[in-house]
Amino acid sequence: MATAKSTMNIQSTNGALRLDPNGDLVASTVRVLRKDILKAVEDAQTPVVLVLTATKQIDSLGITLVLGLFKSCQNKKLAFSVEGASPDLMRVFKLFNLHKFFPIAEATRE
């Protein structure tokens, strides 16, 4: 089985660290992204926003990564939120009651 290659745009804009994966948060991509994401949050001094506009699927490892990001931000007393979640991702987040822990904004329809 080939390992999926995934990238993430990490940038500081509008007073927040924005993490924008260029694809799905599933087992094969999470393994590639985890180190860079956690390092970025470790160095963060501003609120962290996970931007999911390019993410269509998330599995249990993706959920674990999101929870790890939230916990890392909590430990640093930084705000954490999710933006651009598709209706399918919103259903998954609500199934796990994640919306009760941090803000999750659904993608705007064009």
Q: Token digits for 75?
A: 């430990």
Closest CA to 5 of 20, 26, 49, 19: 26
Distance between CA 61 and CA 46 in Å, rounded? 25
pLDDT, mean of residues 44-52: 96
CA angle 100, 21, 27 (to 5 degrees): 80
Q: Given this model, what pLDDT does residue 5 score?
A: 53
Q: Across the chain, what does the average pLDDT equal?
A: 90
Q: What is the mean pLDDT of residues 55-80?
A: 95
Question: What pLDDT digit, counting tens, does each position of 14-35 carry?
Answer: 899 999 999 999 999 998 888 8
pLDDT confidence tier of residue 65, bands split at 50, 70 and 90: very high
What is the C-alpha to C-alpha distance for residues 47 and 79, in angstroms, rounded to an integer? 5
Q: 17-106, what's its fold?
A: Transcription Regulator spoIIAA (3.30.750)
**Nearest partner of 50 among 75, 77, 58, 88, judged by Cα:** 58
